[in-house]
Amino acid sequence: MTTAEAPVTTPTFAQPKPSWRDRLGNPWGRPRFLRLTTWLYILWSLVPVLLAIRFAFNSGRSRTSLQGWSLRWFWEDPNLSVFNDPTLQAALKHSLVLATIVMLISMPLGTALALGLRRWEGRGAGPANILLLLPLVTPELVFAVGMFLLFTTAFDFIGLGTLAHRSAR
Amino acid sequence: MRNTWIWRTLAIPGIAWLGLFFVVAFYAIVSVGFGNVSTLYEPLPHWNPLDWNVGYIWLAIKSVVPGGSTWDSFARTFIYVVAAVVLSLAIGFPVAWYAARHAVGRWKGVILLLLALPFWISYLMRMFAWTNLLASGGYAARGLNALSLDNLFNSLGLMTGSDWLGGQHIAVVMALVYGYVPYLILPLYASLDRIDQRLIEAARDLGASPAGAFWRVVVPMSKTGTLAGIVLIALPMFGDYYTPDLISGSPKTAMFGNAINGYVQGGPDKAFGAALTLLLSAFLLLFMLYYLRVLRADQREAMRA
């Protein structure tokens, strides 16, 4: 109290230059290494796809080098473009139709299931929860083999051809 | 909740759908695997358990043990998955840690968006993007060869020749990492984000070194999330066949899924394929049960909090 007038001195701890270990681990420090890793990862995860999109606008046939911009593969080419090739058009239509149907079925079904399971307590809720999680941790292949065998052996009146099966994936 | 019947009624259509297309479909695998084949090699499922025929299961078991016909692809799959999971963790953990702990303000939202972006791009599209880049003359192939990484991997015995799409183990493992690491990062982020910053500060105040605080606070607290994330990417990888198909297409890199796919779709022996699928499921069941247990414990904890 008597030393109120004393000049304020900063504590004189030695401030060593932070070592690389501090930089890596210190939760208060500036994590340059982590930031670099993160941004490199983000670039790595997205640039290939951006380049693939760029190749769709290539004017040449190559998929490995850039050959100028064009809309050739969309509609300008009379035979090979998506707009002029009947097989590609059919495939595109299939995808859109299937995606729409899947969305229309799974959205109400999934929303109702999520709402229901969140609130439903009592008998049956536990097994229902496990049933919901099982498809998440089952490899797609097991799922797909099951459906394929189900449709080709038990429901074979549906007549799911091999072609339809192949284009589904 | 008093009128619980409302919620049960809401859940029933979804449960019925899953019951039909998951449980019954799985039973179809069982019936075909324990079934027989007609004279035209068409599968004859035995739906009644009393009629089960263990012949195909026995053949499948003999084929996955060392010396059997699918042993090579099974062992290869296991090595690929372990390598891909380790690499995914090495990439994913720092990224998730940075996003959860160090990214602040507007940048945090941007980074989370960019991390979630691969979810909205089809897996096949992402693989095809790499086939463009890794084809001979492609940008990635030229860059990797300019750094003479092909020579490095050749001398390490991980690669033969310099064609990255010509059946290279390293290319398939990298493609698996590329494909699945986003699915690891988000659960990791969720579990790291939940750790209270004050606990790390307390550990540091009480004298723990940065590494000590990490090992004794962060690692135990994120253990369940990390393990769940590993299971979440490892299980689909065990059933993967399209990644090696697209990135190499060579039998040298065929995975267990390729064997199953070959028997079920193309080959005459669908019953054998079904038996292999059953063996794979049995092998993965251990991981699945563990995951379900971790998740349920987590949920219970979350409900209590």
Place of tokens 């860059």: B143
What would the mean pLDDT of A62-80 be, rounded to a whole number?
A: 81
Place of tokens 């997205």: A46
| A116–B7 C-beta distance less than 8 A | yes
Measured between CB atoms, which of A45, A139, A169 is closest to B118?
Answer: A45
> Does the pLDDT of residue A123 top 80, yes or no?
no
Alpha-helical runs (H) found in chain B: 4-18, 25-33, 55-64, 71-97, 105-116, 123-134, 139-146, 149-155, 169-193, 197-205, 210-213, 219-221, 223-238, 242-247, 256-261, 270-304
| A64–B139 C-beta distance less than 8 A | yes
What would the mean pLDDT of B275-296 be, rounded to a whole number?
A: 84
Task: Tell whether A154 lies on the interface with B, counting CB pairs under 8 A.
Answer: yes
> Does the pLDDT of residue A164 top 60, yes or no?
no
Considering only alpha carbons, which residue of chain B is nearest residue A126? B296
Judged on CB neighbours under 10 Å (0-12, 13-18, 19+), B247 is buried
pLDDT-derived band at A162 (thresholds 50, 70, 90) equals very low
Q: Which of residues 205 through 264 in chain B touch A, CB cutoff 8 A? A: 209-211, 213-214, 231-232, 235-242, 257, 260-261, 264
Residue type, A45: S
Cα–Cα distance, A47 to A54 (Å, whole number): 10
Measured between CB atoms, which of A65, A130, A148 is closest to B137?
Answer: A65
CB B18 within 8 A of CB B253: no
Which pLDDT score is estimated for A14? Answer: 60
Which pLDDT score is estimated for A99? Answer: 95
Lowest mean pLDDT segment, chosen from A50-54, B129-133, B220-224, B298-302? B298-302
> Which chain B residues contact residue A146 at CB under 8 A?
22, 25-26, 28-29, 277
Task: Tell whether B91 lies on the interface with A, counting CB pairs under 8 A.
Answer: yes
Task: Tell whether A97 lies on the interface with B, counting CB pairs under 8 A.
Answer: no
| Two tokens, residue A94 | 């299939």
Residue from A130, A156, A146 nearest B22 by CA: A146
Cα–Cα distance, B141 to B166 (Å, whole number): 12
The pTM of the full predicted model, rounded to 2 decimals, is: 0.83
> Does the pLDDT of residue A23 top 60, yes or no?
no
- B241, B245, B251, B255: CA torsion to nearest 10: -20
> Does the pLDDT of residue B259 top 70, yes or no?
yes
Which pLDDT score is estimated for A56? Answer: 86
Task: Tell whether A91 lies on the interface with B, counting CB pairs under 8 A.
Answer: no
Cα–Cα distance, B150 to B211 (Å, whole number): 35
Judged on CB neighbours under 10 Å (0-12, 13-18, 19+), B55 is middle
Contacts A–B by Cβ distance under 8 A? 229
| A45–B257 C-beta distance less than 8 A | no
